[in-house]
Amino acid sequence: MAYLETLEKSLYSLVTETSTNLPKDVRRAIKAAKEAENAGTRAAMSLDTITTNIVMAEDNVSPICQDTGLPTFKVYTPVGVNQIEIKKAIHTAIAAATGDAKLRPNSVDSLTGKNSGTNIGAGLPVVKFEQWENDYITVKLILKGGGCENKNIQYSLPTELEGLGRAGRDLDGIRKCILHSVWQAQGQGCSAGFIGVGIGGDRSSGYDLAKEQLFRHVDDVNPIEDLAKLEQYIVEKSNTFGVGTMGFGGEATLLGCKIGVMDRLPASFFVSVAYNCWAYRRMAIDIDPVTGEITNWHYQEGEKITFRDEEKQDNSDNKVVELVAPITEEKIRSLKVGDVVKISGRMYTGRDAIHHHLIGEGVEAPVDLDGQIIYHCGPVMAKDEAGNWVVKAAGPTTSIREEPYQGDIMKKFGIRAVMGKGGMGPKTLKALSEHGGVYLNAIGGAAQYYADCIKSVDGVDLMEFGIPEAMWHLTVKDFTAVVTMDSHGNSLHADVEKSSLDKLALHAERVF
Ligand code: SF4
């Protein structure tokens, strides 16, 4: 096979493997989180779902999470290798993997909102090259989803931090910023997560450095002694915050912290944090520059946890309520924070574009939404041989983006339940009380698990917004989620945020 053809095939394998099979070091970290959680809790139940999902994604060779992120490649080439050819091969591989539903079409024109459908667009995928002295090519790829990307944060020191007070231009100020970054993410970036931190640089190089840290191994040790200590300290203390998996509360909040440092301008002092969800999809390969063949896969060291023979959680203590739409106000008002629901029957997807559309004056919904459930989800879809739509991945997306619209839309159309991840704010909580509604938190990233609960795709509306944004009509069976905001003014998210702030504040005193 010619070099270019083989190269494209190698890159396609890299994309598929990254999207569908979590690396060994990440699996071990998730296993440790499971062991840390107390049996029977919502966090333990979530981790069970997460590990079931990991197994399903590997078996189905399908995306671990429906948000397959913004593909970011870092390519190292020997002098003389044609980088233009490699970039073209990356584009071909990305488009092919998108066509095969290994990636969701995620490239959206920032001005028109049009989805290219291929993951190729202005500036996407991101491909960065560097030359090196080695005689082989290395290609690294990270697929980092939007939910966790939105929880990245950059601090300009000195600054004042909620709970921690003044953070100055020294190692202790850096410590405070990093602790704060974990706290502010709560469960919205699909905790338990991993962070990469960049100290120094300017605003853009600082973030680059932070993301670069996410290519490090979870269990490596920082060669700079102070940073090695800080990395360990951050993981240890973050896990006392009680944020837990999905922000449900629990023992495991942060699974890894990697810190890099570069010089800065005298006038600037940035600490940049890249937050990555538990679906920490990054992989790397070495490629022969003559044949284009893969010669080595990275992240292969140590034991591979398969999660196949794990004992399942006993959830018999949790109250489980069956929900079938259309749901009455009375039934919704009987639900309380902490109840587990199992949904069967109809639900509709709706995320950013649908909410923006439905809020428009005089706009009618394409279907009768009275008593219905809206699922904040942008699924990966494909057509089968008969031309029917099938769901390839369908976990929840971050709900807080719909906060400006959600309450009004529920009232306008009579919607009784909205489901997503990470919770919503005070405006929605008030509307849930007034109208009689609940917010349901599904397990973020559990895209295969939930796809399996979807028994048929019965229709689609507003396809002009693109596959992830369209309104899909789904029939589901035993689709499990947790009531985290109810119609009585209770919000688990607000409670966890408050209690974790108290725990964060215990670390205001100087340590380094
Ligand atoms: S696991 Fe959560 S944060 Fe990560 S890509 Fe999926 S939806 Fe986004």
Q: Provide the pLDDT for residue 313.
A: 63
418, pLDDT greater than 60: yes
Measured in residues, the chain has a length of 512
Q: Is 250 in the pocket of ligand 1 (CB under 6 A)?
A: no
Lowest mean pLDDT among 38-52, 93-107, 363-377, 456-470: 38-52
Give the percent of the chain with pLDDT over 90: 96
Average pLDDT in the 418-437 region? 97
Distance 394 CA to ligand 1 centre (A): 11
Q: Is 395 in the pocket of ligand 1 (CB under 6 A)?
A: yes
Q: Is 65 in the pocket of ligand 1 (CB under 6 A)?
A: yes
311, pLDDT greater than 80: no
Q: Is 279 in the pocket of ligand 1 (CB under 6 A)?
A: yes
Distance 342 CA to ligand 1 centre (A): 22
Q: Provide the pLDDT for residue 379.
A: 95
8 Å CB contact between 348 and 375: yes
186, pLDDT greater than 80: yes
Q: Provide the pLDDT for residue 214.
A: 98
Q: Provide the pLDDT for residue 314.
A: 63
Distance 70 CA to ligand 1 centre (A): 12
Lowest mean pLDDT among 117-131, 247-261, 316-330, 377-391: 316-330
8 Å CB contact between 191 and 30: no
Distance 293 CA to ligand 1 centre (A): 31
Q: Is 147 in the pocket of ligand 1 (CB under 6 A)?
A: yes
Q: Provide the pLDDT for residue 317.
A: 64
Q: Is 292 in the pocket of ligand 1 (CB under 6 A)?
A: no
Q: Provide the pLDDT for residue 40.
A: 83
Distance 67 CA to ligand 1 centre (A): 6
Average pLDDT in the 404-421 region? 97
**Average pLDDT over the chain, rounded to an integer:** 96
- Give the residue whose CA is nearest to atom 1 of ligand 1: 445
Whole-number Cα distances in Å, 123 to 7, 87, 445? 22, 12, 26
Q: From the CA of 146, give the closest atom in ligand 1.
A: 8
CA distance 347 to 336: 21
Q: Among 411, 355, 381, 409, which Cα is nearest to 473's?
A: 381
Helix (H) or strand (E) holding 249: none
Q: How confident is the model at residue 468 (pLDDT cuts 50, 70, 90)?
A: very high
Average pLDDT in the 41-63 region? 94
Question: Mutate which of 18, 62, 70, 148 to test ligand 1's pocket (most atoms within 8 Å of Cβ)?
Answer: 148
316, pLDDT greater than 70: no
DSSP percent split of the chain into helix, strand, coil, nearest 5: 35, 25, 40
Whole-number Cα distances in Å, 475 to 264, 377, 502? 54, 14, 42
Distance 78 CA to ligand 1 centre (A): 35
Q: From the CA of 397, give the closest atom in ligand 1.
A: 7
Q: What is the pLDDT of residues 93-135, one digit of tens each?
A: 999 999 999 999 999 999 999 999 999 999 999 999 999 999 9
Distance 145 CA to ligand 1 centre (A): 5
Q: Mind spelling out the 3-state secondary structure of 434-490?
A: HHHCEEEECCCCCHHHHHHHEEEEEEEECHHHCCCCCEEEEEEEEEEEEEEECCCCC
Whole-number Cα distances in Å, 214 to 162, 219, 392? 26, 12, 27
Q: Is 58 in the pocket of ligand 1 (CB under 6 A)?
A: no
Q: From the CA of 277, give the closest atom in ligand 1.
A: 4
Q: Is 189 in the pocket of ligand 1 (CB under 6 A)?
A: yes
Q: How confident is the model at residue 38 (pLDDT cuts 50, 70, 90)?
A: confident
Q: Among 403, 417, 408, which Cα is nearest to 486's?
A: 417
Q: Provide the pLDDT for residue 148.
A: 96
76, pLDDT greater than 60: yes
Whole-number Cα distances in Å, 206 to 213, 265, 266? 11, 12, 15
- Give the residue whose CA is nearest to atom 6 of ligand 1: 445
Average pLDDT in the 343-350 region? 97
Site of tokens 């009680």: 242
Q: Is 103 in the pocket of ligand 1 (CB under 6 A)?
A: no
Q: Is 277 in the pocket of ligand 1 (CB under 6 A)?
A: yes
Average pLDDT in the 34-62 region? 93
Distance 164 CA to ligand 1 centre (A): 28
Q: What is the pLDDT of residues 392-407, one digit of tens each?
A: 999 999 999 999 999 9
8 Å CB contact between 307 and 32: no
136, pLDDT greater than 90: yes
Q: From the CA of 145, give the closest atom in ligand 1.
A: 5
Q: What is the pLDDT of residues 243-287, one digit of tens each?
A: 999 999 999 999 999 999 999 999 999 999 999 999 999 999 999
